[in-house]
Amino acid sequence: MTHGMVNDPIKRSSRVPRRRGINYDVGTYTRGTNQPSSRELFDPETVRKEMEIIQSELHCTSIRISGRDVDRLVAASESALQQGLEVWFSPALIDEDEHAMLEYYRECAIAAETLRRQGPDVVFVAGCELSVFMKGILEGATSFDRIGVLMNPWRLLKYTIRKGSFHWRLNAFLSKALNVIREHFHGQVTYASGTWENVNWDLFDIVSADHYRDTHNHQRYREQLRAYFKHGKPVVITEFGCCTYEGAQDRGGYGWNVVDHGHSPKRLGEGIVRDEQVQVRYMRELFDIFQEEGVDGAFWFTFAMPSYPYDEEPAFNLDTASYSVVRSFKGGRTGAVYPGMPWDTKASFVALGELYNRP
């Protein structure tokens, strides 16, 4: 289901990606609105300080700001623009149908255009991996149901025979969404695609993919990446990253799935051993590939994951299963590296700053 290899007659020069970015979550509901948000507390002053740190210490030039609440998206974006960061405005409404999504995009597009008039460096991201996170493209009431269909070839085949290709439904929706968005937003628009999605990139200004490397695509990773260049548009990696334990590099985008959510309190599965250098090696290896292949930009996933907090007890240290470059604290504890912030840095924080500070 991934893109096949294409002949690329254009020689792309090795260069540091122009957009050196990171993902920043203002709060989403990936497990349903009856479950806690991925960011329960949203303090504008903390956000402002984090944007300053992201620009000055991580040397980011761009930031992808994701979440459900439009006011939070706008507040974080304003702080980022004040730091001179290019904002990738990325609204995230999970497990809703087409009608709700289009109304939501209308509201978000109006807000994003107001931001763009304040500072022109705003890109609208028209959804993320919608075949999984939206109702109606694949079978299933929740994103986890749809992931199950996607990962089971027989279920996917049976659903395709009954309903037709989900790629067609995805592109039909994206076309409608673009009409709504462009009516109100007049900047560049892209879509954070999954590697299994065949997107009609003629609709968009930038080709973007959440492109993780794992044990299944390790040998074909460059081949998959090169296929995105055939559209003749800038190619940006909207997500890349891995978690903080031995073997996480082989799980890529599914590395989070080692937490036992049925246990109270939540805990890691058996045999998970923390190793911050796994993140560092993965980060450096993929960033070198992006530089060699000439991508226009890349966004590490992610800055912070407060819903996976640090704990002194290894079995309950959910930060081990996090993609973040900082380890978040619970209970009002603050860090030592940046006093007053609700987190401390990890080895990947320093490594990312070094990579993004290349000339």
Domains of the chain, residue spans: 19-356
pLDDT at 12: 64
pLDDT above 60 for 271: yes
CATH top-level class for 19-356? alpha beta
Cα angle 180, 235, 201 (rounded to 5 degrees) comes to 40
Position 10 pLDDT exceeds 60: no
Comparing 14-18, 54-58, 161-165, 201-205, the range with the smallest average pLDDT is 14-18
- Taking each helix axis from N to C end, the angle separating 153-163 and 166-184, rounded to the nearest 10 degrees, works out to 70
Residues contacting residue 172 through CB under 8 Å, at least 6 positions apart: none
Single pTM value for the model: 0.94
3-state secondary structure of 142: coil
Give the chain's count of helices (H) and strands (E): 10, 12
- Record the tokens describing residue 242, joined without a space: 């891995």
Strand partners, 27: none
Using the structure block, give the residue that is written with the tokens 């806690």: 36
Provide the 3-class DSSP secondary structure of residue 287: helix
Determine the length of the chain. 359
pLDDT at 11: 52
Name the residue with tokens 């037709």.
164
Q: Would you say 184 and 113 are in contact if contact means Cβ atoms under 8 Å apart? A: yes
Mean pLDDT of 258-283: 95
**3-class DSSP state of 358:** coil
In the DSSP assignment, the letter for residue 296 is S
Give the pLDDT band (50/70/90) at residue 308. Answer: very high
* Confidence band, pLDDT 50/70/90 cuts, at residue 290: very high
Half-sphere exposure of 179 (CA within 13 A, CB side): 6
Q: What was the pLDDT predicted at 32?
A: 57
Report CA-CA distances (Å) from 65 to 161, 173, 326, 350. Answer: 37, 22, 17, 21
Q: What's the pLDDT tens digit per position in 105-142?
A: 999 999 999 999 988 899 999 999 999 999 999 999 99
Backbone angles phi, psi at 193, to 5 degrees: -85, 155
CB 205 within 8 A of CB 233: yes
Confidence of residue 36 (pLDDT cuts 50, 70, 90): confident
Average pLDDT of the chain is 93
